[in-house]
Structure 1
Amino acid sequence: MDYKKLIIRGISYSQTQSGAYALLLEHEETSVKLPVVIGNFEAQSISLGLEKDLKPPRPLTHDLFSKFVTSTHYTLESVIIYQIIDGVFFSNINFKHTENGEELILDARTSDAVAMAVRFDAPIYTTEQVLNEAGILLEIENNNETSSTSEENYSTEETSDLKKMTSEDLQSLLNDAVKDEDYDLAMEIQEELKRRNKKID
């Protein structure tokens, strides 16, 4: 299968879910962004994994598991986010034995898989289908009038019913949502735009 490589663009506080964070992954070639809602502990663990110089006084769960993997002569080869169902991402962690080459695949939550991947500097991949279903592409080329009025005119009440908006207004609002790192709203808008495109097809 032709997998698409993702890079970690950052972690931001979720605008709509209290205590949750949005992990932002991005496809290197197309710049399509894949926002994944994760918990506070996983966000902290991924951040610490990215900051190689920062070491917690006691090992976190992902540090402990990483040590176990290394001690059993395995290495983490890659993480693959292979599907999304009802907004939930499903991932596999691919291990390989350093001596006999034996491969081991474990099912994992995407947040845990990414937390492990950063500790092994392992690549993260996804499928084209997942990118098509959950990816967000920020369209920079928008006319200035639309983008300037979008922030001023769209109140919370207006955004609560996306179905009443024109496709142009939705695209402008989508751009603003991504800029403001409100990926929950961005995904809702993306779903509405896809629903309209299906009707046209």
Structure 2
Amino acid sequence: MIEMSVQGITLDPVTNMPIVVLKGKESEDILPIWIGIFEANAIAMQLEGVERPRPMTHDLIKNLINSLSASVEYIHIHDLKANTYYAEISLILNGERIVIDSRPSDAINIALRCNAPIYVSEAVLKQSRIENEIETEEEEIQDWLESIKPEDFGKNPSV
């Protein structure tokens, strides 16, 4: 597992969907994860240190964890299937580890609020790099196809 930190939130220029960007703490690994608007807003507000008058959902979860005398050991983004990332939250309660399935955006929000480390499996990083390379190649091919003009193929054969 590679420990990562939240680098920030950005927008996909094509879809305008938010992307949370994770960066390796001791590596140059980058992992972009497309997330929902509300989850992105919650991450951004937490990163900016915005105080809310009432607890939002992720704050409520943190309060529940604390009220139960549990702690978030870490979160782990452990799988990538069909462009969907899978994560889990590892809690310690009464000395026992409890692992809870989670969307990555929710797990990241919880990790930020509980000062817990964020880990990503090496296999997920590798698979993400491969998928990003394929998407980049497809985009380059599409750009090239859109830029082709008839004169790029030489003389007009009907002349």
Deviations 1:35-77 (A, max 9, x none): 000111101111222233x211221111111101110111111
Equivalent of residue 80 in structure 2, options 77, 80, 84: 84
C-alpha distance in 1, partners of 2:98/2:51?
28
Instruction: Describe the SS at the equivalent of 1:15.
Output: coil
- 1: distance between equivalents of 2:75 and 2:110? 9
Q: 2:98 aligns with which of 97, 104, 124?
A: 104
Matched, 1:63 2:59: yes
Matches within 5 A, 1:48-59: 48-52=45-49, 54-59=50-55
Corresponding residue for residue 68 of structure 2: 72
Give the fraction of aligned pairs with identical amino acids, expressed as a percent: 33
Pairwise CA distance, 1:186: 6.9
1:191 Cα deviation (Å)?
Answer: 7.8
**Deviation of the 1:185 alpha carbon:** 7.5
TM-score, scaled to structure 1: 0.64
Can you give the 5+ residue segments of structure 2 that lack an aligned partner in the other structure?
Answer: 141-159
In 2, are the aligned partners of 1:134 and 1:187 still within 8 Å (CA)?
no
Please identify which structure carries the higher strand content.
2
Counterparts of 1:128-167 in structure 2, within 5 Å, are 128-135=122-129
Counterparts in 2 of 1:190 and 1:116: CA distance versus 1, 3 Å: farther
Instruction: Give distance in 1, aligned partners of 2:19 and 2:137.
Output: 16
Q: Which residue of 2 aligns with 1:143?
A: none
> Deviation at 1:187?
6.8
Q: Whole-Å Cα distance in 1 between the matches of residues 23 and 105 of structure 2?
A: 15
What letter corresponds to residue 46 of structure 2 in structure 1?
G
Q: Which runs of 5+ in 1 are unaligned?
A: 137-183, 194-201
Q: Which amino acid aligns with 1:84?
A: L
Aligned residue type for 1:82 = H
Is residue 22 from structure 1 mapped to residue 19 from structure 2 by the alignment? yes
> What residue is the counterpart of 2:145 in the other structure?
none
Partner of residue 118, structure 1: 112
Match of 1:155 in 2: none
Count of residue pairs the alignment pairs up: 140
* 2:14 partner letter: T
Match of 1:139 in 2: none
Cα deviation 1:133-171 (Å, max 9, x = unaligned): 1148xxxxxxxxxxxxxxxxxxxxxxxxxxxxxxxxxxx
Q: Equivalent residue for 1:127?
A: 121
Contact 1:35 1:135 in 2 (8 A): no
Q: 1:57 to 1:44 in 2, by over 3 A?
A: same
TM-score by length of 2: 0.79
Following TM superposition, the consecutive aligned residue runs of length 4 or more in structure 1 with deviations greater than 6 angstroms are: 184-187, 190-193
CA RMSD of aligned residues (A): 2.4
